[in-house]
Amino acid sequence: MRNYDVVVIGGGPAGMSAALNLKRMGKSVIILEKEAFGGQIATSPRVENIPGFKEISGLDYSNLFFEQLMDLEVEFELEEVLEVKKDGDLFHIKTNYSEYESKAVVIAAGVTHRHMGVAREEELVGKGVSYCAVCDGAFFKDKDVAVIGDANSALQYALNLTNYCNKVYLCMLFDRFFADNILVNRVLKNEKIIITKEIALQEFLGEDELTGLRFENTKTHEEVIFNVSGVFIAIGQVPHNDLYKNLVDLDKGYIVVNEFMKTKTKGLYAVGDCTKKAYRQVCTAVNDGLIAAISISNEIE
């Protein structure tokens, strides 16, 4: 059993921010990450909305963040957390390799974007396929793009992209919107947005990069092709918080926290995209981590 003041579960920007600040406050801390450090931002080829960086790749940003942790000698392990329990004032964390005990735990499990499940989707990520219009929209200036989805995120993506792109094809599986009326009205009034309903994606076109999309009309079965340089997929995100459901309150799968990043269980905090929040960006994730670190430090002391 390895003992720490704090165990951080997840090595994305939120988790790394929490660990960085906890270490600076003199707390013993370890990060447990099951795959690779950096989170979703590490897959973005170019990022321009992080203060202090005019332009940087998501991978380079993540590597710089990780190097900062290493300079402070923050401990980490590439392990998958299998169980989190609280016994008295202490938490017991079991992974696929080891067991840990701590006074506090920070959940920074993130989310994954829901994918289309169409062939070559993963291959073309960063080569025309994106899941974040805020992150990547400006790279398609004066080009034609598509957005797949029919809820708030998809409509927000489409409206955001009209600031850069020539045309925005909004591609919907159903015959109606599942979004707030104010967004629907804005989309309907925007001449750059071309709405096509009741179509299902069949194929990503292009070899080394995306050149178009092939759909099928779900009613007539006619083929519909859009010649676009980029597609932004906004069909939802998937939180993975079932592991903690006995310790936290969940709202549509997301962990409910207060302004101090506290969950309903004393000593258990959650930060970043896995929490119920309005905006999910790198800067908001880093902010969550700092708030949690300060809150934990005050609580322990």
Q: What is the CATH number of the domain that holds 30?
A: 3.50.50.60
Could you say which of 211, 233, 255 is where a domain stops? Answer: 233
Q: Looking at the structure, tell me whether residues 9 and 102 fall in a common domain.
A: yes
Q: Looking at the structure, tell me whether residues 218 and 150 fall in a common domain.
A: yes
Q: What is the pLDDT of residue 112?
A: 85
Check: CB of residue 248 under 8 Å from CB of residue 264: yes
Check: CB of residue 170 under 8 Å from CB of residue 158: yes
| Domain assignment of residue 118, yes or no | no
| Domain assignment of residue 119, yes or no | no
The pTM for the full model equals 0.76
DSSP label at residue 272:
G
| Domain assignment of residue 188, yes or no | yes
| Domain assignment of residue 80, yes or no | yes
Q: Looking at the structure, tell me whether residues 191 and 270 fall in a common domain.
A: no
* Distant-in-sequence contacts of 200-209, Cβ < 8 A, 24+ apart: 200/173, 201/116, 201/118, 201/148, 201/171, 202/118, 203/118, 203/119, 204/118, 204/119, 204/120, 204/121, 204/124, 204/128, 204/129, 204/231, 206/124, 206/128, 208/127, 209/124, 209/127, 209/128
Q: Could you give the 3-state DSSP secondary structure of residue 212?
A: strand
Token pair of 179, please?
């979004």
Q: Structurally, how many domains does the chain consist of? A: 2
Q: Looking at the structure, tell me whether residues 104 and 35 fall in a common domain.
A: yes
| Domain assignment of residue 123, yes or no | no
Q: Looking at the structure, tell me whether residues 143 and 228 fall in a common domain.
A: yes
Bridge partners, 273 (sequence order): none
Domain membership of residue 205 as a residue range: 129-233
Per-residue pLDDT of the chain (301 residues; tens, 9 = 90+): 899 999 999 999 999 999 999 999 999 999 999 988 898 788 676 777 889 998 888 889 999 999 999 999 999 999 999 999 999 999 999 999 999 999 999 999 999 889 999 999 999 999 999 998 878 898 999 999 999 999 988 998 999 999 999 999 999 999 999 998 999 999 999 999 999 999 999 999 999 999 999 999 999 999 999 999 999 999 988 999 999 999 999 999 999 999 999 999 999 999 999 999 988 889 999 999 999 999 999 999 8
Q: Looking at the structure, tell me whether residues 223 and 242 fall in a common domain.
A: no
